[in-house]
């Protein structure tokens, strides 16, 4: 491999200058960071405590969401399991019947996604607790949930009142919700485990 420092007529700085591709990447990160900062500034400690209160009071926690929101909610449920909670994701073959007092978490930016909407209705009928994370509290899911946490951001509906974003529809809501849930996990981790990594790792999967 050639030593670039020894190439004739090539100043060292030429190899350190950012490429156009790197500049585009940096701009994209800056745009995302600015958008997320604006959204996260609207999320309050009370919103986190509302979710924590529901999670800690529930004997079992169920989650239901579709698409990218489903992956985000699965990640949150995994961390709750690591912290000692009993959790299930709706639709899995090992998920049991929901019962009165259990908690169903649904995640939908638009608040109109069919799968979580119908699961929430069934949970309400079963006298379980229901909590929705959505960008639209006035949506069907928002209106029918017993507890609503509103995370600002763009959704697939791209309504005019949504936060402006240069990203794909839904991305800003999903990113903000992921970070909100990660903050909730951190709070629970500090409160329940006193940051005992060994206790958490004992529940981490070893068949992987």
Contact assessment for residue 90 and residue 60, using Cβ atoms and an 8 Å cutoff: no
CB 105 within 8 A of CB 70: no
With b meaning 16 or more CB within 10 Å and e meaning fewer, what string describes 119-134?
bbeebeeeebbbbbbb
Determine the Cα–Cα distance for residues 196 and 171; give it in Å rounded to an integer.
Answer: 33
Question: Which position among 174, 182, 199, 202 bears the catalytic label?
Answer: 174
Catalytic residue status for 199: no
Q: Which of 192, 206, 207, 195 is nearest to 84 (CA)?
A: 192
171-192 and 67-82 helices, crossing angle to 10°: 10
Residues serving a catalytic function are 174
């Amino acid at each position: 491999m050639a030593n670039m420092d020894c190439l004739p007529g090539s100043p060292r700085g030429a190899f350190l200058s950012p490429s156009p591709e790197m500049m585009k990447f940096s701009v994209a990160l800056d745009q995302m960071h600015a958008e997320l900062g604006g959204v996260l500034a609207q999320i309050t400690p009370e919103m986190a405590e509302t979710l924590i209160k529901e999670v800690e009071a529930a004997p079992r926690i169920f989650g239901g969401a579709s698409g990218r929101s489903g992956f985000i909610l699965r990640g949150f449920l995994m961390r709750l399991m690591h912290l000692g909670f009993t959790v299930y994701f709706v639709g899995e073959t090992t998920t049991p019947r929901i019962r009165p007092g259990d908690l169903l978490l649904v995640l939908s930016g638009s608040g109109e996604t069919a799968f979580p909407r119908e699961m929430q209705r069934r949970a309400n009928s079963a006298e379980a607790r229901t909590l929705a994370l959505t960008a639209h509290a006035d949506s069907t899911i928002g209106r029918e949930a017993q507890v609503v946490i509103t995370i600002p951001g763009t959704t697939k509906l791209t309504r005019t009142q949504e936060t402006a974003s240069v990203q794909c529809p839904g991305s800003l809501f999903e990113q903000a919700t992921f970070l909100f849930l990660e903050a909730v996990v951190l709070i629970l981790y500090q409160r329940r485990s006193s940051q005992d990594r060994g206790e958490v790792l004992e529940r981490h999967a070893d068949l992987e």
